[in-house]
Structure 1
Amino acid sequence: MQNSIRIVTLCCVISLIGGCGFFSVYKRDQPQGNLITPEMVQQVQQGMTREQVTYIMGAPLMDNPFDANQWDYVYQLHTADGQVYDKRVSLYFQDDQVSYIDTSGDIGTAPPAREQAPPASEATTTPLQPVTPIQSSTPSAGD
């Protein structure tokens, strides 16, 4: 009886300790804001209209209440290992056209990927086959 109580107590203690954080918990990356890629920033040029910018970059994250001619795109990524990546693009308009582009953060590089897809040369793809419709063997009500 004494041994069975000790074994049960030991099993309970081990199961409680296992859930207390000795083993790391899966953490995922937390992106926030507008996704900003180097290709997007390179496409935006001075003289573009607001509609053209919206097509490339999307809607701005923040509307400046003090200056309607400034659009801010902000992106922040908190990685699972605790690193933080900040990117910011501010576009200034004059006569509804981009007059100045201000960038900050590391726009030119992407944060390290956790899992990488295989290169296109190594990727295995199967060609899609056309789907043929199935013919019904039961006559319709109109026949």
Structure 2
Amino acid sequence: MLVKKSLTVWLSAVVMTVMLSGCSSWVYRISIPQGNFLEQSDVDKLRVQMTQEQVLYVLGSPVAKDAFSDDSWHYSYTLNIGRDSEHRKSLVVYFENGLLARISGDFEEPEEFNIPLEQ
């Protein structure tokens, strides 16, 4: 009789655990930013013919570099806000002969981008 009662209690605990695991969407999820957070003001500092060291100083280390050449750097940022909302931004910086040639991505090209810095 005692074994039967403890088995019933154990079995009901397992059933309740399985049923409550279906409510996992109620669990609070932390928003975790990943990658390089850049703002338009950071991108506005870029100028054509900047060296790779200057771009590194302005934007920081890229998330990824081209594996076969050092001609493009990829900056990306992702922020998951809850389950259904995601904020993504990316920027790709292209170099020719070690100097900044162009940019592409989710940011606007700066107005003064084509004016080189004084050397």
Q: TM-score, length-normalised on structure 1?
A: 0.55
Distance between the aligned counterparts of 1:72 and 1:23, measured in 2?
34
Q: Any stretches of 5+ residues in structure 1 without a counterpart?
A: 1-8, 109-143
Q: Any stretches of 5+ residues in structure 2 without a counterpart?
A: 1-8, 109-119
Name the CA shift for 1:23/1:74 in 2 (closer, same or farther; >3 Å): closer
Which of structures 1 and 2 has the bigger CA Rg? 1
Q: TM-score, length-normalised on structure 2?
A: 0.65
Deviating above 3 A after TM superposition, structure 1's stretches of 4 or more consecutive aligned residues are: none
Computed over aligned residues only, the root mean square deviation of the Cα atoms, in angstroms, reads 2.5
Distance between the aligned counterparts of 2:25 and 2:101, measured in 1?
53
Aligned length: 93
Q: Which residue matches 2:92?
A: 90
Q: Which residue matches 1:44?
A: 46
Point out which structure has higher relative CO (alpha carbons under 8 A, 6+ apart): 2
Describe how 1:1-143 pairs up with structure 2 within 5 A: 20=20, 21=23, 24-104=26-106, 107=107
Distance between the aligned counterparts of 2:78 and 2:69, measured in 1?
23
**Higher strand content, 1 or 2:** 2
